[in-house]
Amino acid sequence: MLYRLFFNLVFSRFNSETAHHLGMFLIKFLGATGLARLSQLGVKKGTTTALGLEFSGPFGMAAGFDKNAEAVSELGALGFSHVEIGTVTRHAQPGNPKPRLFRLKRDLGLINRMGFNNDGADAIAARLARLRKSGKKLPVIGVNIGKSRITELEDAVSDYAYSAEKLAPLANYLAVNVSSPNTPGLRALQAIDQLEPILLAVIQKSLGKPVLVKIAPDLADQDVVAVAQLAKKLKLAGVIATNTTIRRDGLIEPASRVQAMGAGGLSGPILADRSIAVLKLLRSNLPEEMAIISVGGVFTSAEVRQRLSLGAQLVQGYTGFVYEGPLWARKINSGLSA
């Protein structure tokens, strides 16, 4: 409640991307002062085993929040069992022109067309190496990799392979992102004939680390099943479902305002139904040992518990953190342990 008041009084006065940077500053402050770790006092968390790894619980931070691995330990201290950084591309890139991040307060949603803005695989690998050597307590670190904007689609394989080679030694798992709507042509790589060589190249460079593929909620059911079949064929560690959507139906915000925001991926509770449907479809088409990380529309511990009951091994969130604040993971974990 206090955070909601603070959000309305302070963060809502800034554009969404500036508010995000302020939020990152706050997270780092909480980590530096030890307040982040103190926020977890009294929370009983069990361990979760998935991807051959041990997690301090099932709930983690989805890719897109910490693009450059700048607040990994702090997010872990706030209660996230794993942090998926990125999306990281081979080449550093500024992303799309601003403004590119918008809040839909009535829907508790976000529209973003950030465009994989990040420091690039080399710089982020160096940052992760320093973090690994720092001695800080760290959550499980996933590294989400994508195609550079300047790389032609026909050269996508080498682009993903480069990032995988640089980042695999420093990651606990790798996530192949072919589902963001904000890089031209990227979603075409979800087609099986395009996806298979990318995944094979990443597996070859993974040093045996778990490799997952992240898919869009806008895939038709038969395409979801086709991805599941490919995942089985290649013996992937699992599938992350789902990314943001390009759909705009069912929103409370006036259509004129949403239209004025323009293109981009929509996240928030509006995604929940489709995310759950894709989870069920994947679970019925994947063997039990293959993990599903469910993401999309998760705000409460009850919703996390529901995803787990439907066969997800791990659950991720992002948009809820924007609206619920730095104690969000604590609330989720407390609810799960109740």
8 Å CB contact between 213 and 66: no
Active site residue 180: yes
Distance from C-alpha of 276 to C-alpha of 307, rounded to nearest angstrom = 7
Distance from C-alpha of 120 to C-alpha of 105, rounded to nearest angstrom = 32
DSSP state of 262: -
Please report where in the chains the tokens 């009294």 appear, as a residue: 42
Distance from C-alpha of 25 to C-alpha of 23, rounded to nearest angstrom = 5
8 Å CB contact between 107 and 261: no
Residue 262: CB atoms within 10 A of its CB come to 11
Distance from C-alpha of 335 to C-alpha of 177, rounded to nearest angstrom = 30
8 Å CB contact between 325 and 70: no
**Which residues are bridge partners to 55 per DSSP?**
48
Structure-token pair, residue 278? 């894709």
Catalytic residue among 56, 81, 180, 294: 180
Residue 300: CB atoms within 10 A of its CB come to 16
Please report where in the chains the tokens 């998926």 appear, as a residue: 84
Active site residues: 180
